[in-house]
Amino acid sequence: MQGMIALHRGNTTNKMSQTLSDTDLMRQIASGQQEGLQELVRRYQQPVHRFLMRYLDSADDAEQATLNVFIRVWEYAPRFQYRAKVSTWLFRIARSEEHTSELQSPC
């Protein structure tokens, strides 16, 4: 799974980012289309990473937690309810991952 999710360096834009909504991407991800996940990572990797950096002790921890967030998105996408915004759901996962990371880190 980790090999499938490549965190992006830099800001690349493609045609998909201009045409598909986050909800459309979630539908793609839920149906197993990796391209949808790659685009969601491209859109939200930096905001999620910045969010996690506020709470975690190191950049390495934040990067690992960011990767874990998108792994969880892939795993849980079929259960996404479409009642909330995708970004809200994504940051709830990030907050949960932050708590998990804090519990696992040595004091």
Strands (E), the chain: none
pLDDT of residue 85: 96
What are the pLDDT digits (tens) for 58-87?
Answer: 999 999 999 999 999 999 999 999 999 999
- The pTM of this model reads 0.81
**Which residue do the tokens 């990371």 mark?**
101
What per-residue confidence (pLDDT) applies to 64? 95
Residue holding tokens 């940051």? 91
Q: Are 80 and 30 in contact (CB under 8 A)?
A: yes
Q: What is the helix, strand, coil percentage profile of the chain, to 5?
A: 70, 0, 30
User: What is the per-residue pLDDT for 17?
Assistant: 56
User: How far from 58 is each of 45, 47, 49, 65, CA to CA, in Å?
Assistant: 16, 16, 11, 11
Name the stretches of the chain with pLDDT < 70: 1-18, 102-103, 105-107
- What pLDDT does residue 89 have? 97
pLDDT number for residue 57: 85
Among the listed residues 2, 26, 1, 25, the one whose alpha carbon sits nearest the alpha carbon of residue 77: 26
The alpha carbon of 21 is separated from its chain's Cα centroid by a whole number of angstroms, namely 15
Q: What pLDDT is recorded for position 99?
A: 87
